[in-house]
Amino acid sequence: MAGLAAAVFVGGAVALSGAGVAFADTVTGTQVYIDDNAAAIKVINLKDKSGTPHETAAPRLGIKVAGSTEPVLAYCIDFARDITHTAYVESPWSKNGNTSPTEAELGQVQWVLTHAYPTVGADALLAAAKGTKPEGVSAELLNKLVYAGTQSAIWTITDPDLFALSPSKEGFNTGNTPEQYAVIVAISDYLVKASKNPAADPQPKLEINPATLAGETGKKIGPFTIVSGGGTADLTATGGKLVDADGKPVTSLPNGGKFYVVADAAGTVSIEAKGSGSVPIGRMFVTAQDPNKTQKLILAGVAGTKLEAKATATVTLPPPSLPLTGVKLTGAITAGALLVAGGVALLLVVRRRRVRFVA
């Protein structure tokens, strides 16, 4: 981590107004950014190479993935190495082999990322860790403290032989009060202990589930469900229209959103979803050159990537049926019964008259 800032700023950097971060403009495909070191939170490592506890910076890092408009928060997963190349590419966990961090360690980090900052807000994370919010601490400083706590937890998992967070800052000037440093320790301890169930390597995806359904004209066919790594899917249909459960038009939906197809004519309705695919939390990025000799980063947020999904709805005409007569049919039956009864009565009267006439 010692050479991190210098390496990132090679080639010149452009500061983002009010953000306290900067971008390296020499990055190919992705961009890496780092907090201003002057404002970076420092943590105390008990396993420094010198054999004595040592301060190390935990500045916020980020990656701007090619094709996305905003940078996504990231964490270092390779404590011993610096950023010496600026061209980063995405890498699946499996390609990391047995090198540090291992796939099992990455699974544990994946759990941390889905239960830590920024997926979970700073206040909520501190509450889960049963930590105490120092009086007078700003929201920005609290964010930095919980980031440092999350980073410390990740280093503890991926580099256990090289990093162990000191439980106190006694004897060190980290730039924080003891109460503020206690936030870092509480977050780190909670995440390390709680991350017991490794997760699988997340994959960017966008699906419409199910891929096909059938129904009749004029009726809602569905529901179809959007399945994505995050973000929103833009939906279009040819041959029909898309609506929600209340029949209102649908043009976009988040992950898990449901929609229906309605068509006035028989045929096939083609459905297409675009733009909601994502590079989810936990994707690993390494340098294109010497990936096992330079620092590796892991996404702590969702970055957009272009994906598409398709589905179809087969629309048929309703089956023919006899006209429904309802009450009219009942009336006809009743009238018929009355006519029959009347005929019988008339016949009896006539017969009686005949009998009397004969007599």
| Six token digits for residue 323 | 């006209």
Q: For strand 221-228 and strand 61-65, is the pairing parallel, antiparallel, or unpaired?
A: unpaired
Dihedral sign (CA 271, 275, 280, 286):
positive
pLDDT number for residue 102: 82
| Six token digits for residue 263 | 């068509």
**Weakly modelled stretches of the chain, pLDDT under 50:** 1-29, 276-278, 326-327, 329, 333, 340, 344-359
Cβ neighbors of 119 (< 8 A, separation 6 or more) are: 113, 281, 300, 301
pLDDT number for residue 26: 29
CA distances from 14 to 8, 195, 280 (A): 11, 37, 27
Summarize pLDDT for 138-183 with one digit per residue, the tens: 999 999 999 999 999 999 999 999 999 999 998 888 888 999 999 9
Summarize pLDDT for 302-319 with one digit per residue, the tens: 655 677 899 999 999 998
pLDDT number for residue 322: 60
CB 282 within 8 A of CB 195: no
pLDDT number for residue 290: 72
Residue boundaries of the structural domains of the chain: 4-201+281-303, 206-276
pLDDT number for residue 175: 85
Write the DSSP symbol of residue 206.
Answer: E
Q: For strand 30-35 and strand 61-65, is the pairing parallel, antiparallel, or unpaired?
A: antiparallel
Q: For strand 13-15 and strand 303-304, is the pairing parallel, antiparallel, or unpaired?
A: unpaired
Q: Edge-to-edge strands of the sheet including 72-76?
A: 13-15, 21-24, 30-35, 61-65, 72-76, 297-299, 284-287, 88-91
pLDDT number for residue 283: 67
Task: Indicate whether this model's pTM tops 0.75.
Answer: no
| Six token digits for residue 42 | 């420092």
Write the DSSP symbol of residue 272.
Answer: E
Summarize pLDDT for 2-14 with one digit per residue, the tens: 333 222 222 222 2
